[in-house]
Structure 1
Amino acid sequence: MTRGTHKPGAHGTSWRTGGARRAAAAGLAALLLAGAGAAAAPAALAADTHREEDRGRLVSVVPVAVRDRAEIIRELGEQHIGTDPVRHGVRAYRLTYRTVDPYGRPTTATGLLTLPDGGGHRLALVSDTHGTMSDRAYAPSVAEDARAPSYLFAATGRAVAAPDYLGLGEGPGPHPYMDTRSAVTASVDMLRAARTAARGLGRTLDGDLYVSGFSQGGQVAMALGRAVQAGDAPGFRLKALAPVSGPYDLLGTQVPAMTDGRVNDISGVFYLSYFLVAQNRLHPIYKDPSEVFRQPYADRVERLFDGRHEDEDIVRQLAPNVKELLTPDFYRGLGHPTGGLAQALRANDGTCAWKPGVPVRLYAGDGDTDVPIGNARACERTLAERGARVRLLDLGAVDHQGSGRAALAPIARWFGGGAG
């Protein structure tokens, strides 16, 4: 998604892996669909058929990529991602599965399942949750650019489940950006779908779960770990948490940083606009965009976040900074949120306010002007106060995307060693 420092959408994951997308053989597709036992179209799901046990049920499996070990090493190396953990080639598949929307109504979502091409029959699973993206076509199950983390983790000999979240990839509806609750339900249900799909491919997931994620996905990873530990994903055992550069502290760090210079202007405008438009569907922030956004931006902002605009296109049509984007009253109110804005922030804050029963490594960079390192420091303090085994690994003077690249190989090695 992102193209570099201070580029719009630097909160996201546009991992440039290079090379054309390659489909696996048609015979393999037939095998997958036979093993999954389902190929119904998402539109066939009716609200009155929803049951809790339907969550995570596999709808379809589509092979999307094959990479041998040499290709993985070359492509990751071109992105300055460490390749020493690479042991295998990989095969990747788009899964469509049943889940629920933010209101608990039945819907479908898509995600990427990546398996090592070789290695053992029984595999541990890595959950990798992606960062901010406005264009649904950038999601891992449909975009080659978003697959580097999946390829690396799978190349170490583990299965990898990378959910697109709701409304991205080939899932229906708008994306409820930064709605932690629905990101977690979509991620939990992706774990269930991955288990079924792996079985259809002749592999077995052994239940051990390692959780990572970058940027928005770092926040989702913390919340997902909490859900798994609480028993929301039966059959999976949380083994370790390794989120990277997540906005864990919305009220204390991330929102204040958008007005005091710690977040660069372009990223601040992009993230805050996206958050307000998406969260307004769930919380009563405004009745008309002009209550929040200045003109001419009020007349276009909701249309820009329709899931079909690239980040650069969005930023070109919005204000140069947050102060010029927002009405004076709303801008002043950012310092002391009230009403629907306060509801939205509180609902999606506090993802570190629990005690993981597994080791936690937080990765962040000092040079990050998208998600300042203060988020990770606040998370570390909160976890430590609760008695968690937590370490913050400062990646140095790297920018946001740089932190994501720098953390991948160390996380892969840590997970590969059982994350003790």
Structure 2
Amino acid sequence: MKKALLILNLVFAVLLLASGVRAQNRLIKTRPMGTVTKNELALTYGPFVQYSITTYKVWYLTTGIDGKPDTATGLVVFPVVENKALPLLCYQHGTVNGPSDVPSERRGGWELAGVGAALGYVALAPDYLGLGESRGFHPYVHAATEASAAIDLLYATQEFAEKLKFPLNGQLFLTGYSQGGHASMALHRELERNYSQIFPVSAAAHLSGPYSISGETFKRLISDEPYNYVGYTAWVALSYNQMYKIHDNVEKLLKQPYAGMAMQFYRHEIDLSALNQMLIDTLTKRHGKPISRLMFQDSLLENVSKNPNHPFLLAMRDNDVYDWTPKAPTRIFYCKADDQVTYRNSVLADSIMQVRGAKDVKSADVQSNANHGQCVQPAVLQTVFFFATVQAQIATGTRDLPTLPVRMYPNPAREFTRLEGLPKSGQVMVSNLQGQIIFRSSINNPYMDIPLQGLSKGAYFVQLLSAQGIWHNKLLVQ
């Protein structure tokens, strides 16, 4: 009887592991990926950079796309600093070109994790399942695995920091851009629902993400408007067909020759850029312009329009990440002219969260005329200021972010306002109440005149961030 009970317990433990139930020991191994100096970083990212950084590729245990244990990879970046307990920053990267175009190889947008560490965070960036050294084909914009891969890297990063005797202060900040905006929103939701005692979220900023997959994103993909990123459409079809087992053959979702091109990508024979160009060329040759919906089987689109419970629509709905109520301070930054991810995703997410009673959720069009690539800089800059302000409000004493003794006059003002008592270096930014950045400048002198000609009467926010501290105030323009 005892032997049978022991065997039963072992079987049960294996089943728990296979089903994705996590233990805290996730770290497998690490490899240094190099150091970048503060001066090198400042040349690219501005004078408010505070630290040099050291980068590591990290292998960790997670649950794979098949529900079985898998080894995943990610990047962890430490500031070069001693005797300071610092917060964690989880950065989720945007769409990449293929399995090796990932943060753990210091590619795939890793720089934003590097900037986070240079500003005083211990930054981590998961590669996602099916990318880096994880098995299989990446489940693109699949909320559950975007969240699980990040959570297991959070565990591994804590273990790694403890191994290095690098103190953490218990704060956690979340962000991500494009696909990473979807991933950071999925992670945020999962942490607040199921890990609030283990990984309490201090603040989150989700940037230009496709939060409404079944609604706003799908509308864009099946519209009659040309779309120069049709490779995303094929990737979504491949991803959900794999994860939800909708059909045994992708040809039931996509017409030929598009299905054949997509399968080349699925088998890792071509990368996303090659796939996208092949699809654009073929669509343009056949129809005069690249229209995403023309790749789908007509029967699929017809069935989806008639059946609200069609498996493909249910799969998309399962990956919507906007219909919930964040507790931590949350910002949703976007640009109205985004040519890849429609801004309506952000507007919808904000409105639904407000209706649900979210206490501190705001969206902002940070630069109306910016496309998807151009939106990165203003969205990230707003995120930097937002996180710095939250840290100052937390005021734990473990990270010194004093309020600088800056003077602004005149206020109210008409033609200009002057800032005096500025630090040696840093960034100044002026935003309207909608969050749009209307002025920004590096600090070169102990004073700065901000021109106000052409601005509408009303209130604006003036913010300053530097290695010496932060400052912000409201400006009234008459």
- Give 1:83-94 correspondences, 5 Å limit: 83-94=46-57
1:40: which partner in 2? Answer: none
CA contact under 8 A between 2:332 and 2:346: conserved in structure 1? yes
2:275: which partner in 1? Answer: 314
Q: Secondary structure at the match of 1:392?
A: strand
Residues 1:197 and 1:328: Cα distance change in structure 2 (over 3 Å): same
Distance (Å, rounded) in 2 between the aligned partners of 1:84 and 1:413 = 14
Q: Does 1:222 align with 2:185?
A: yes
Amino acid at match of 1:61: T
- Give 1:18-417 correspondences, 5 Å limit: 50=17, 52-54=21-23, 57-76=26-45, 83-118=46-81, 120-232=83-195, 234-260=197-223, 264-267=226-229, 269-307=230-268, 309-318=270-279, 319=283, 320-333=290-303, 335=305, 338-349=309-320, 351-388=321-358, 389-395=360-366, 396-417=368-389
Distance (Å, rounded) in 2 between the aligned partners of 1:56 and 1:190 = 10
The Cα of 1:384 is off from its aligned counterpart by: 0.5
Residues 1:49 and 1:255: Cα distance change in structure 2 (over 3 Å): closer
Residues 1:103 and 1:343: Cα distance change in structure 2 (over 3 Å): farther
1:39: which partner in 2? Answer: none
Distance (Å, rounded) in 2 between the aligned partners of 1:324 and 1:138 = 29
Amino acid at match of 2:382: P
CA contact under 8 A between 2:27 and 2:160: conserved in structure 1? yes
Distance (Å, rounded) in 2 between the aligned partners of 1:224 and 1:230 = 10
The Cα of 1:115 is off from its aligned counterpart by: 0.9
Distance (Å, rounded) in 1 between the aligned partners of 2:53 and 2:135 = 28
Residues 1:407 and 1:125: Cα distance change in structure 2 (over 3 Å): same
The Cα of 1:201 is off from its aligned counterpart by: 2.0
The Cα of 1:306 is off from its aligned counterpart by: 3.4
The Cα of 1:321 is off from its aligned counterpart by: 2.7
CA contact under 8 A between 1:359 and 1:390: conserved in structure 2? yes
Deviates more, 1:328-337 or 1:286-295: 328-337
Distance (Å, rounded) in 2 between the aligned partners of 1:229 and 1:208 = 14
Residues 1:232 and 1:333: Cα distance change in structure 2 (over 3 Å): same
Q: TM-score if structure 1 supplies the norm length? A: 0.81
The Cα of 1:50 is off from its aligned counterpart by: 3.4
2:390: which partner in 1? Answer: 418
Distance (Å, rounded) in 1 between the aligned partners of 2:97 and 2:376 = 19
Highest RCO, 1 vs 2 (Cα 8 Å, sep ≥ 6): 1
Distance (Å, rounded) in 2 between the aligned partners of 1:207 and 1:184 = 19
CA contact under 8 A between 1:121 and 1:202: conserved in structure 2? no
The Cα of 1:48 is off from its aligned counterpart by: 7.3
Q: Per-residue CA shift, 1:323-368, capped at 9, x if unaligned?
A: 432222234455556532012111101x122221111111000110
CA contact under 8 A between 2:98 and 2:131: conserved in structure 1? yes
Amino acid at match of 2:136: G
Q: Secondary structure at the match of 1:324?
A: helix
Q: Secondary structure at the match of 1:112?
A: strand
Structure 1 residue runs of 5 or longer lacking an equivalent are 1-45, 77-82
Amino acid at match of 1:50: L
Q: Secondary structure at the match of 2:242?
A: coil
Residues 1:179 and 1:312: Cα distance change in structure 2 (over 3 Å): same
Distance (Å, rounded) in 2 between the aligned partners of 1:307 and 1:193 = 28
Residues 1:391 and 1:56: Cα distance change in structure 2 (over 3 Å): farther
The Cα of 1:132 is off from its aligned counterpart by: 1.8
Q: Per-residue CA shift, 1:288-320, capped at 9, x if unaligned?
A: 222222222222312213346322211122243
The Cα of 1:161 is off from its aligned counterpart by: 1.1
Deviates more, 1:118-127 or 1:246-255: 118-127
Larger Cα-atom Rg: 2
Q: Secondary structure at the match of 1:265?
A: coil
1:16: which partner in 2? Answer: none
CA contact under 8 A between 2:55 and 2:77: conserved in structure 1? yes
Distance (Å, rounded) in 2 between the aligned partners of 1:255 and 1:141 = 31
Amino acid at match of 1:375: N
Q: TM-score if structure 2 supplies the norm length? A: 0.72
Deviates more, 1:310-319 or 1:380-389: 310-319
Distance (Å, rounded) in 1 between the aligned partners of 2:344 and 2:25 = 35
Q: Secondary structure at the match of 2:375?
A: helix
Q: Secondary structure at the match of 1:418?
A: helix
Q: Per-residue CA shift, 1:143-168, capped at 9, x if unaligned?
A: 33522211111111110111111111
Distance (Å, rounded) in 2 between the aligned partners of 1:400 and 1:391 = 20
Q: Per-residue CA shift, 1:213-257, capped at 9, x if unaligned?
A: 111111121121122222426532211110000111122211101
Distance (Å, rounded) in 2 between the aligned partners of 1:369 and 1:348 = 21
